[in-house]
């Protein structure tokens, strides 16, 4: 036998089980990987797909995985704190290690643990064994200690910044990166230390200096011999830490000659117990795709290889058949053949309207999964920004695997044979059974082509948001990656619908090929939506969120789409004047500040300000910012301003700085508004993000119209630039008072709080009279405001410390207030505690309408993270329920306005306020209608109080 040749073909892959599991755990969001039993699975998923990936790319013939064993090793005896940080591994990770081992066992992979030693030592030994047996050896590890093993025949595969992107650490690569040889690497590490393992190095010495010294003195021994001649702070630090460095070097040396009781030749793999593996994958609830990929990788042994490679891949994903239609008739025929449902007949579009009446039909009537089973996919590409939307193409993909792509030029309204009419008819008839990804965005794109889009059966973007409200994929591809673990080519991931492809540019060279590729991208995207729809629908059913989706979120999309395309009219001249005035004020303040500072310090640079304030002027710094520097925020400046009365220079500088901060900020806000005015209609079209805020609120971007100043007179002036547009007479502002508190009253069932709202009196005064046990008329302004702060603080999980700070009272006094408050409103305390308790138990919170938010952080071992999660869990159902109620109200108001045939229309939502543009003659009716919709959005134990105001601009509409 040519045994040497045989061995040359052999490749041994040695895997550091713990480090790989760690890397996977921290690289993948734990909240998006868990099965119904609540078991986290992100590390298992990452581990198995990573291993499959390496097997596919490196084709090892032998494989072994090393694990650490519980209990200390010889290293702990030398260095007690060794890997102290690792023992604090989160439970969510530790619980996955046995699963990984189960999986390896079912895949026929040898894994090795050696009590008293670390996985690293097992790896060192295995790698050495492999080398001696003449194997090419690969070490898959995220632990840099493994670098010392690297030589001509041993390569370390080391995860890069993105988990799964592996670097091949060869001797050359080590030298290139660290400027030392692999043999010298542990000497370098000994000086640098290893934070991940809780090993201190020489302070101030990093890779750079360590490498420099090693090269100067030939190695660690040389350095330590000449330690006295190394100058500077770093030399000093080195001398002070020589013992530590020596110890580090001993600790980080890997043992390479353990007796593991195995031979390299035994480490073959591929003897997969398919049934056991499939059972485990089912338990972990990994997708079919993951399962097949992993099984395939492990079955790909040379022996099994030849026998059955024929079929498995091809049938996995049948490509859709791309049909060609070029006339209205052809399109109609295609739609009738492929989009019509077979079973039970599709719902008549007329009956969808009837739903409005049977408002309180509260049962989970149908199943989303059933409706979606027959659905087809509608996907548009183009610009989805309101006010400048366009549509480049439309893709229809049917459930029976057919697809049509229509270019915009083919269905523009003026085309001869009315393909436009055909598309309109198809949408009118079949859209209600379509699934789309982004109903609102599609509405804009289609509206730009004069094609109305009725409510589809499912919006996968919204459904995905309900399923994981704190994950925001920015494209279909990202969503598919997240929910289905389907990887897409990088170039298609970035933009969601903004296809920059020019269909009509047919003269260019190589255009056919580009077109084909683009069509492929569109088909693949539609295919992903198809799969997302079929994955998400049953999840929505199982969580009973169908009504939340179809009766709240989807109609809200439709309302928002109208609001966005209306936009808000702007008095541009007024805005320009304000901008100039603010700019002049800011410049004046800046001049004065510069004069006092004696330097042209950039007032917008905290760093430069720190220099001037704390070093130049020698002012006392107050609080530190989280990164360690001293804050220059308004509160701190104000404080310093008040304390510097006897220092004219500093006092004037601070005053000028504060003025500059304020006016410059206002100038900046006004300028961004000006930049956002759409020249086509002189209006600002914001985009309301419906799938961003984890609590269920909307957010507003490009520009953000939900943070226009309102707290002081100067800033509030900006609101006067928001005016009724041509054809409208005034603006209506209608807002809820104390919604969140009212929700707390309802949900807690606290009789005293409910009564406080029902009484109709000044709420905070009334509550204060109960808390302090005094007649309402005797309540002082201080008492009222203290109780008010307490009430609002409740829903935020406010600490007594925070309350004390805000009210400028002692923590003890804050504590007394809190106790008095809860003595009066005991059920509120019970309720708030129950929120956190059930969140801890179930893993998520729920709003009045079943909107969920998950809080994995509640189980964190990190106190700060846990506290933050508790506050979140306290707040989410309250803020979220308020958001639900407002969404219901705005849909209702919108529909009622339309139904009444009014031209007045909602244009903005600011969490608890609606702004309505009022047409002449409709003031009273529209006001009544909107107020009514808000007040009666839901029936709860307390009245929903809504106050309204009409005015010539947004500021004047305030009340």
Partner DNA sequence: CTTCAGACGTA
Partner DNA sequence: CGTACGTCTGAAGT
> Are β-strands 11-16 and 136-140 bridged in parallel, bridged antiparallel, or unpaired?
parallel
Residue 858 CB partners (closer than 8 Å, separation 6+): 836, 839, 840, 843, 866, 869, 870, 873
Told to check if 862 binds DNA by CB under 7 A, we report: no
| Residue 730 vs residues 297, 357, 722, 906, 925: alpha-carbon distances, Å | 67, 31, 10, 12, 13
Told to check if 806 binds DNA by CB under 7 A, we report: yes
Residue 392: CB minimum distance to DNA, A: 22
Told to check if 692 binds DNA by CB under 7 A, we report: yes
Query: x/- binding map, residues 785-804, to DNA, per CB under 7 A?
Result: ----x--xx--xxxx-xx--
Cβ–Cβ under 8 Å, residues 182 and 151: yes
Nearer to DNA, 879 or 948 (CB): 879
Told to check if 625 binds DNA by CB under 7 A, we report: yes
Told to check if 555 binds DNA by CB under 7 A, we report: no
Contacting residue, 32, 710, 923, 925, with DNA by CB under 7 A: 710
Cα–Cα dist 30/129, whole Å: 36
Give the number of residues in contact with DNA, rule: CB under 7 A.
66
Told to check if 868 binds DNA by CB under 7 A, we report: yes
- Scanning residues 900 to 929, which ones bind DNA (CB under 7 A)? 910-913
Nearest 5°: CA angle at 30, between 840 and 538? 80
Q: Residue 449, SS3?
A: coil
Contacting residue, 70, 162, 357, 711, with DNA by CB under 7 A: 711
Told to check if 198 binds DNA by CB under 7 A, we report: no
Told to check if 808 binds DNA by CB under 7 A, we report: no
> What 8-state DSSP symbol labels residue 552?
I
Nearer to DNA, 632 or 948 (CB): 632
Told to check if 154 binds DNA by CB under 7 A, we report: no
Cβ–Cβ under 8 Å, residues 173 and 208: no
Cβ–Cβ under 8 Å, residues 699 and 693: yes
Cβ–Cβ under 8 Å, residues 195 and 178: no
Cα–Cα dist 878/742, whole Å: 10
Q: Report the side by side order of strands in the sheet with 434-436.
A: 321-323, 402-407, 390-397, 376-383, 434-436, 458-459
Told to check if 672 binds DNA by CB under 7 A, we report: yes
- Whether residue 703 is preceded by a cis peptide bond, meaning omega within 30 degrees of 0, is yes
- Scanning residues 457 to 496, which ones bind DNA (CB under 7 A)? 470
Task: Choose the binding region for DNA from 91-99, 310-318, 605-613, 833-841 (rule: CB under 7 A).
Answer: 605-613
Contacting residue, 702, 762, 896, 945, with DNA by CB under 7 A: 702
Residue 762: CB minimum distance to DNA, A: 19
Nearer to DNA, 669 or 893 (CB): 669
- Scanning residues 28 to 57, which ones bind DNA (CB under 7 A)? none
Told to check if 694 binds DNA by CB under 7 A, we report: yes
Told to check if 287 binds DNA by CB under 7 A, we report: no
Cβ–Cβ under 8 Å, residues 234 and 263: no
Cβ–Cβ under 8 Å, residues 13 and 138: yes
Contacting residue, 6, 195, 352, 633, with DNA by CB under 7 A: 633
Task: Choose the binding region for DNA from 584-592, 602-610, 639-647, 927-935 (rule: CB under 7 A).
Answer: 602-610
Contacting residue, 315, 627, 679, 781, with DNA by CB under 7 A: 627
Told to check if 631 binds DNA by CB under 7 A, we report: yes
Cα–Cα dist 924/916, whole Å: 12
Tokens of 183: 């043999």
* Cβ atoms within 10 Å, residue 816: 13
Partners of 946 in the beta sheet? 736
Nearer to DNA, 100 or 878 (CB): 878
Told to check if 177 binds DNA by CB under 7 A, we report: no
Cα–Cα dist 797/873, whole Å: 9
Residue 193: CB minimum distance to DNA, A: 20
- Scanning residues 871 to 890, which ones bind DNA (CB under 7 A)? 871-872, 875-876, 879
- Which string of DSSP letters, residue by residue, matches 576-592? HHHHHHHHHHHHHHHHH
Task: Choose the binding region for DNA from 223-231, 585-593, 613-621, 868-876 (rule: CB under 7 A).
Answer: 868-876
> What 8-state DSSP symbol labels residue 900?
T
Residue 629: CB minimum distance to DNA, A: 5
Nearer to DNA, 201 or 696 (CB): 696
Residue 713: CB minimum distance to DNA, A: 10
Told to check if 394 binds DNA by CB under 7 A, we report: no
Cα–Cα dist 559/895, whole Å: 8
Contacting residue, 173, 634, 752, 902, with DNA by CB under 7 A: 634
Cα–Cα dist 187/148, whole Å: 10
* Run of H or E including 154: strand 154-159
Give residue 870's region: left, alpha or beta (phi > 0; psi -120 to 50).
Answer: alpha
Contacting residue, 70, 162, 607, 863, with DNA by CB under 7 A: 607
Told to check if 706 binds DNA by CB under 7 A, we report: yes
Told to check if 94 binds DNA by CB under 7 A, we report: no
Nearer to DNA, 453 or 835 (CB): 835
Question: Residue 667's closest CA among 604, 605, 610?
Answer: 604
Residues that bind DNA (CB under 7 A): 470, 602, 604-608, 625-629, 631-635, 637, 661-662, 665, 668-669, 672, 675, 689, 692-695, 697, 699-704, 706-712, 715, 789, 792-793, 796-799, 801-802, 805-806, 868, 871-872, 875-876, 879, 910-913
């Amino acid at each position: 036998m040519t045994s040497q040749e045989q061995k040359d073909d052999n490749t041994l892959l040695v895997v550091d089980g713990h480090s790989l599991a760690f890397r996977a755990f921290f690289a993948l969001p734990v909240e998006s990987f868990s099965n119904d039993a609540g078991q986290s699975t992100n590390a298992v998923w990452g581990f198995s797909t990573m291993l499959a990936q390496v097997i596919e790319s490196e084709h090892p013939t032998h494989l072994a995985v090393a694990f650490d064993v519980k209990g200390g090793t010889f290293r702990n005896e030398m260095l007690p704190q060794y890997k102290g940080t690792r023992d604090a591994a989160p439970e969510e990770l530790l619980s996955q290690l046995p699963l990984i081992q189960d999986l390896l066992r079912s895949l026929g992979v040898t894994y090795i643990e050696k009590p008293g030693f670390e996985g690293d030592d097992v790896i060192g030994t295995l790698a050495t064994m492999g080398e001696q047996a003449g194997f090419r050896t690969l070490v898959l590890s995220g632990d840099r200690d493994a670098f010392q093993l690297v030589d001509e025949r041993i390569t370390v595969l080391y995860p890069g910044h993105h988990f799964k992107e592996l670097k091949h650490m060869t001797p050359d690569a080590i030298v290139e990166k660290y400027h030392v040889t692999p043999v010298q690497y542990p000497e370098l590490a000994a000086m640098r230390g290893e934070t991940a393992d809780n090993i201190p190095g020489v302070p101030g010495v990093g890779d750079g200096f360590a490498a420099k010294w090693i090269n100067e003195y030939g190695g660690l021994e040389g350095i330590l011999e000449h330690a006295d001649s190394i100058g500077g702070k770093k030399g000093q630090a080195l001398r002070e830490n020589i013992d530590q460095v020596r110890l580090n070097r001993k600790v980080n040396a890997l043992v390479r000659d353990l007796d593991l009781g195995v031979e390299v030749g035994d480490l073959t793999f591929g003897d997969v117990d398919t049934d056991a593996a499939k059972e485990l994958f089912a338990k972990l609830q990994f997708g079919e795709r993951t399962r097949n990929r992993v099984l395939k990788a492990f079955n790909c042994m040379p022996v099994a290889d030849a026998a059955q490679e024929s079929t498995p891949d091809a049938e996995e994903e049948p490509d859709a058949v791309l049909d060609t239609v070029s006339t209205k008739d052809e399109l109609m025929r295609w739609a009738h053949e492929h989009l019509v449902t077979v079973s039970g007949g599709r719902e008549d579009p007329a009956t969808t309207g009837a739903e409005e009446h049977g408002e309180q039909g509260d049962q989970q009537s149908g199943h989303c999964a059933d409706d979606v089973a027959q659905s087809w996919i509608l996907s548009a590409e183009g610009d989805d920004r309101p006010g400048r939307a366009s549509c480049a193409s439309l893709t229809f993909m049917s459930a029976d695997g057919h697809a049509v792509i229509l270019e915009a030029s083919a269905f523009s309204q003026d085309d001869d044979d009315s393909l436009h009419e055909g598309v309109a008819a198809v949408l009118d008839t079949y859209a209600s059974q379509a699934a789309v990804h982004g109903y609102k965005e599609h509405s804009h794109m289609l509206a730009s082509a004069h094609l109305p889009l009725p409510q589809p059966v499912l919006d996968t973007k919204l459904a995905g948001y309900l399923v994981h409200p704190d994950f925001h994929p920015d494209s279909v591809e990202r969503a598919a990656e997240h929910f289905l673990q389907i990887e897409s080519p990088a170039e298609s991931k970035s933009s969601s619908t903004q296809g920059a492809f020019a269909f009509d540019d047919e003269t260019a060279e190589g255009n056919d090929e580009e077109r084909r590729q683009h069509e492929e991208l569109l088909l693949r995207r539609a295919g992903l939506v198809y799969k997302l729809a079929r994955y998400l629908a049953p999840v929505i059913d199982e969580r009973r969120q169908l009504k939340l989706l179809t009766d709240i979120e989807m109609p809200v999309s439709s309302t928002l789409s109208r609001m966005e395309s209306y936009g808000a009219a702007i008095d541009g001249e007024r805005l320009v004047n304000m901008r100039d005035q603010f700019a002049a004020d800011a410049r004046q303040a800046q001049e004065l500040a510069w004069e006092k500072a004696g330097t042209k310090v950039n007032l917008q640079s905290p760093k430069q300000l720190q220099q001037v304030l704390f070093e130049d002027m020698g002012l006392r710094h107050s609080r530190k910012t989280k990164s360690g520097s001293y804050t220059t925020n308004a509160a701190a400046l104000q404080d310093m301003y008040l304390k510097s009365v006897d220092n004219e220079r500093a006092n004037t500088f601070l005053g000028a700085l504060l003025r500059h901060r304020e006016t410059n900020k206002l100038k900046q806000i006004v300028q961004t508004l000006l930049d956002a005015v759409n020249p086509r209609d002189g209006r600002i079209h914001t985009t309301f993000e419906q799938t961003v805020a984890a609590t269920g609120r909307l957010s507003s971007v490009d520009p953000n119209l939900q943070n226009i100043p309102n707290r002081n007179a100067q800033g509030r002036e900006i609101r006067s630039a928001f005016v009724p547009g041509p054809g409208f007479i005034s603006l209506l502002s209608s807002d809820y008072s104390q919604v969140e508190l009212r929700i707390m009253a309802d949900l807690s069932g606290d009789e005293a709080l409910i009564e406080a709202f029902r009484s109709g009196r000044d709420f905070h005064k009334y509550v204060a009279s109960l808390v302090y046990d005094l007649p309402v008329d005797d309540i002082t302004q201080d008492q009222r405001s203290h109780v008010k702060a307490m009430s609002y603080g409740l829903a935020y999980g406010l600490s007594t410390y925070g309350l004390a700070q805000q009210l400028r009272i002692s923590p003890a006094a804050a504590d007394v207030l809190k106790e008095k408050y809860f003595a009066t409103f005991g059920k509120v305390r019970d309720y708030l505690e129950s929120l956190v308790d059930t969140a801890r138990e179930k893993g998520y919170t729920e709003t009045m309408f079943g909107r969920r938010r998950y809080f994995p952080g509640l189980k964190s071992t990190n106190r700060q993270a846990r506290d933050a999660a508790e506050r979140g869990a306290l707040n989410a159902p309250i803020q979220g329920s308020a958001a639900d109620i407002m969404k219901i109200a705005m849909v209702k108001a919108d529909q009622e306005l339309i139904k009444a045939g009014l031209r007045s229309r909602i244009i903005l939502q600011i969490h608890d306020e609606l702004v309505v543009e009022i047409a002449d003659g409709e003031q009273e009716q529209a006001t009544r209608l909107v107020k009514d919709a808000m007040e009666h959005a839901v029936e709860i134990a307390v009245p929903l109080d809504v106050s309204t105001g009409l005015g010539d601009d947004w500021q004047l509409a305030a009340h």
